[in-house]
Structure 1
């Protein structure tokens, strides 16, 4: 009989439960774990292999990395560098991938960083600084904190006018990150038990980087990406304010501000961003598209037809205009006109018949008497039209 393989989702959940069990054991028996590291790691490997015989090498190694961080995080001996070395040796010898040391070094470096041992943390982390922006800012933070120790308190004024070696290294690394632009939150080793300290460090160095290099837009860009991933509206708003003030001619930040205004139901604010984009990029179709999208939410016919006329003048693709006509008629409760629009769309673009069929189903839900169903359908239509239109505009360039 063939052994049944579990789905990825079930494996993930069961791995998480096993990890929690080990975390609890480590917290209750930290001293015992420290004195029996080979035995403990052997027990971890045995439980992992018996419970998950088909686990991938990547997931296997990531599990060991997470256990390694927890062992260090719970130990009273983390300031003993010989103990840290023993933990690393025991963790590495059980891992499967060729770059086994990388993950272990990162989690050890993060633990040393968390405990305030910035010098030793650098020994483990600095060679991996450009693998992930959050890891890179952590390394820059180590340099930055060590720079504060280069001058005595009485020399604080001198330090401001003459950065020390460590501060120069911090600045150099922040500029290297801006130049190479590594992703953020891509390393699984950053998903540690309590990532809040790493999050605080990231934001501190992003804003420090903006103080050092006020015209470096990447700090705002990567900050916005992290704010979106971590669902941090406060930081998102703060960065958008900085971006719109310092890079007010940049379409990317204006686009981000537009969507932020929409999400917060600030129609006048979104309209202001659209007007600014129209002035700065008069030959670009995207500002017109954003204006049309805004009118779907306000359903003001005069404004819609004004943008529509401008769209025709600037050569907006017919299929986009037809879709907007369809959506606007639906949102304005003009069901007959909406039906005519979708029929015209299907006739004009026969290859898109499948999409027209989907739109008809969505339309039937929008005009439903069930308010919840109608609301969800409107959101679905907006998302669908946006995906189609943005792709069509991209292909036109």
Structure 2
């Protein structure tokens, strides 16, 4: 959902259910819909306006776009351009925002792309390549596929000379994306019921672009962003390793690798990343912070005190150091020491009394005999300290370096 109020959640859920009902109807009655497009769209509009009289124009148009894609996707006539024009005319006629053709063009272009009609897909998509990373890679893919047809398959020397015109267009699109750095999945028209074909194209073009332009960091960055967004652990691991290998001096990829290691319970791997960060950024507080955080999770006293000493030497704010002291004692089952530290923390930093009150409450749950309550409180404590420290350190860290995660 894009910008709506939380109170609108029920409305959008009902809208989703209505879309699902229409999807089912279209799938069961494809020929009937094709033969009566004006009647069908009239029925769709009537259902929307009856059930959602105050639906915002953007959501209204997005709903029509999703229905249009389903109509085209289900129809046996979607290869007929006269039919496509009829569908487009009916959809555009009912849309409310100006520039209604943008959404319809993207929907039609994606459908043509899905069926392998790259030539006609380009006619609908190429003007919108820079609006979203996936849309841009789809346009580059169309050019790339057309480039494969520029040379005869039976000519073994056909790829020995410089790239043909279509491949150059594809490369140009990828460079434009790297320069403009659009987000990923920012357009509602890309929220497909079956996005597998678009995902496959996205990954293929990123990997191809990295062969063309191995030093272009954005291709790895957007790949990581999409891998996290779509929950793709394999591609996340692949792009993380690629980033760490190609851009080993870049704090961003090392930071992401650290969090990836933590998520996969690889404490040794996370420690290795911290050591590498310490070597490459000896005057930056972030590697020290990450080391302290890792110490909280592993409860190794020698490691913790080593990073604590380093934190003081490098000028980490004292209230953060004492906050880590409290947390380390508490998570190491040194309950009395932890409570005493919290009392001193509250006394010394009176402006943080509000936070100390919360920490005391969490400490009570962590030391309780209720295992479920204890686990939840422990996680909440770690998340709370993480978020607070990140905010504090982001104010102190040298702005010439990338900011901390969070």
Q: Same fold (TM over 0.5)?
A: yes
The Cα of 1:29 is off from its aligned counterpart by 1.1
Aligned pairs for 1:226-265 within 5 A = 226-265=226-265
Distance in structure 1 (CA, Å) of the matches to 2:182 and 2:239? 19
**Is residue 143 of structure 1 aligned with residue 143 of structure 2?**
yes
Q: Would you say the 8 A contact 2:362–2:377 is kept in 1?
A: yes
Name the SS for the 1:158 alignment partner.
coil
Alignment partner, residue 404 of structure 2: none
Cα deviation, 1:186-216, whole Å, max 9, x if unaligned, reads 1111011211111111111111111111111
**What secondary structure is seen at the aligned counterpart in 2 of 1:129?**
helix
Contact 2:152 2:158 in 1 (8 A): no
- Relative to 1, partners in 2 of residues 1:160 and 1:190: Cα closer, same or farther, differing over 3 Å? farther
Equivalent residue, structure 1, for 2:366:
366
1:203 to 2:203 alignment: yes
Name 1:80's counterpart in structure 2: 80
Structure 2 CA distance for aligned equivalents of residues 135 and 167 of structure 1: 17
- C-alpha separation in 1, matches of 2:340 and 2:382: 19
Residue pairs, 1:281-296, within 5 angstroms: 281-296=281-296
Mapping 1:301-316, distance limit 5 Å: 301-316=301-316
Question: Post-superposition shift, 1:377?
Answer: 1.3
Measured in 1, the distance between the counterparts of 2:98 and 2:25 equals: 29
Indicate conservation of the 8 Å contact 2:125/2:139, yes or no: yes
C-alpha deviation, 1:63, in angstroms: 0.4
What is the TM-score normalised by the length of structure 1? 0.97
Deviations 1:86-117 (A, max 9, x none): 11111011011112111111111100000111
Q: Distance in 2 between matches of 1:353 and 1:6?
A: 31
Deviation at 1:344?
2.1
What SS does the aligned partner of 2:249 have?
Answer: coil
Distance 2:43 2:289 in 1: 59
- Which runs of structure 2 are paired with 1:1-397 in the superposition (5 Å)? 7-155=7-155, 157-397=157-397
| Cα distance in structure 1, aligned partners of 2:161 and 2:261 | 41
CA–CA distance in structure 2, aligned partners of residues 25 and 260 of structure 1: 43
Partner Cα separation in structure 2 for residue 157 and residue 110 of structure 1:
34
Q: Identify the range of structure 1 (366-375 vs 199-208) with the bigger mean alpha-carbon deviation.
A: 366-375
TM-score, normalised on structure 2? 0.95
Residues 322-360 of structure 1, C-alpha deviations (whole Å, 9 max, x = no match): 111111011100111111222222222222211111111
Cα RMSD over matched residues?
A: 1.3
Q: Which moved more, 1:145-154 or 1:285-294?
A: 145-154
Post-superposition shift, 1:156? 5.0
Alpha-carbon offset, residue 157 of structure 1? 3.2
Change (3 A) 1:6 1:396: closer
Supply the distance in 2 between the matched residues of 1:103 and 1:140 (Cα, whole angstroms): 19
- d(CA) in 2 for partners of 1:155, 1:370: 73
Task: Report the Cα distance in structure 2 between the residues aligned to 1:40 and 1:265, rounded to whole angstroms.
Answer: 53
1:153 alignment partner, SS class = coil
Paired residue secondary structure (2:182) = coil
The number of residues matched between the two structures is 393
Which blocks of at least 5 consecutive residues in structure 1 are unaligned? none
Distance in 2 of aligned mates of 1:362 and 1:156: 69
> Alpha-carbon deviations, 1:348-391, whole Å to 9, x = none?
22222111111111111111212222112111111111111111
Distance 2:295 2:253 in 1: 21
User: 2:202, 2:160 → 1: CA distance?
Assistant: 22
- How far residue 158 of structure 1 moved from its aligned partner, in angstroms, is 2.4
Q: CA deviation at 1:165?
A: 0.7
TM superposition shift of 1:155: 3.2
Q: What SS does structure 2 have at the residue aligned with 1:155? A: coil
**Structure 2 runs not aligned, ≥5 long:** 398-406
